[in-house]
Homo-oligomer: A and B are copies of this chain.
């Protein structure tokens, strides 16, 4: 593409991002950036329209960049201001560094994304199920209950309250723990089930009830689950493009149902890394052509993987939002890595 064309496309996009309104040739000329008359600009704009970079809502309404146009801008024309990252990083670090737990951290990251961008922030986390169990311990809780503490190979801890064998002393429990460890540590779930069953059948331990309870756990352990935090949807409604109730409804439904968003998240997960932008119809969310989504993967310790980002209007300032998402993802990764 010719230099002049790129230049003008850039100006159209910039003007559009600011106001959300179609931009006409006169506005660009008056603005003085280009040093060209409206007429010349018109010629180029007509050309750009033919190329699919611009579109006009109707005859006398100026031009609006198409998804392709915005894509070209983001990929080629946009200059990411990298020294904004200094102060940005401080802010993000300040808000995230003292989060008291994993969920609190992710929640804060969501809020941080929302408050920095003024759009809807979104954090998705998937906790991988464990493969094998490392260790199992019985902790007496009361005269009727004992707590089974199971440590898995991904460092996760599962608790299960089960019935205490009658008239069992602490020493006996301790002994049972040891035996269970000999029997089960290093086993995957399937093996655990088989061995427990076998043990129950052979009735070597006179603690059937306890084994049965454990078996019940092995049949349905609380597996690693996925979770999603969203915040700041309210702010989105401030944008004039959401004056139409239809768009709002689609947006809210999409956020609530999460399935469609999951599809995007999956795409980002498979990507190696970095920030990925979905502009307008690129994300294929129905009725949300006016919405863009900016996502980045983050990585915690081995068993945690996730994606975070923002949902905003198509006309967002990508050069500002992308570093924010990038920076937040990096910090979340960092914080997660240090924890657990």
Q: Give residues in A with beta carbon < 8 Å to B.
A: 100-101, 134-135, 137, 139-141, 147, 149, 151, 155, 157, 159, 161, 174, 220, 222, 231-234, 237-238, 242-243, 245, 248-249, 252-253, 256, 340
Contact = CB atoms under 8 A, between A and B. Distances in A.
A234 B253 contact: yes
A282 B222 CA distance: 42
A237 B220 CA distance: 38
Contacts of A101: 222
A139 B159 contact: no
Nearest to A340: B161
A100 B222 contact: yes
28 contacts: A100-B220, A100-B222, A134-B141, A135-B139, A137-B137, A137-B149, A139-B139, A141-B151, A147-B149, A147-B151, A147-B157, A149-B149, A149-B157, A155-B161, A159-B159, A161-B340, A231-B256, A232-B256, A233-B252, A237-B245, A237-B249, A237-B252, A242-B245, A243-B245, A245-B245, A245-B248, A248-B248, A252-B252
A134 B145 CA distance: 13
Nearest to A101: B222
Contacts of A159: 149, 157, 159
A226 to B, nearest CB: 13
A256 B252 CA distance: 13
A110 to B, nearest CB: 11
A161 B220 CA distance: 25
- When all copies of this chain in the complex are counted, the total is 2
Contacts of A137: 137, 139, 149
Contacts of A134: 141
Given A147-B151, A149-B157, A232-B256, 4 more contacts: A101-B222, A159-B159, A237-B245, A245-B248
Nearest to A243: B245
Contacts of A220: 100
Contacts of A237: 245, 248-249, 252
A287 B150 CA distance: 50
A234 to B, nearest CB: 4
A222 B149 CA distance: 18
Contacts of A174: 174
A242 B237 CA distance: 13
A170 to B, nearest CB: 8
Contact of A140 (B135, B140, B245): B135
Contacts of A140: 135
Nearest to A157: B159
Contacts of A139: 135, 137, 139, 149, 151
Contacts of A238: 249
Contacts of A233: 252, 256
Contact of A249 (B135, B151, B234): B234
Contacts of A151: 139, 141, 147
A231 B255 CA distance: 10
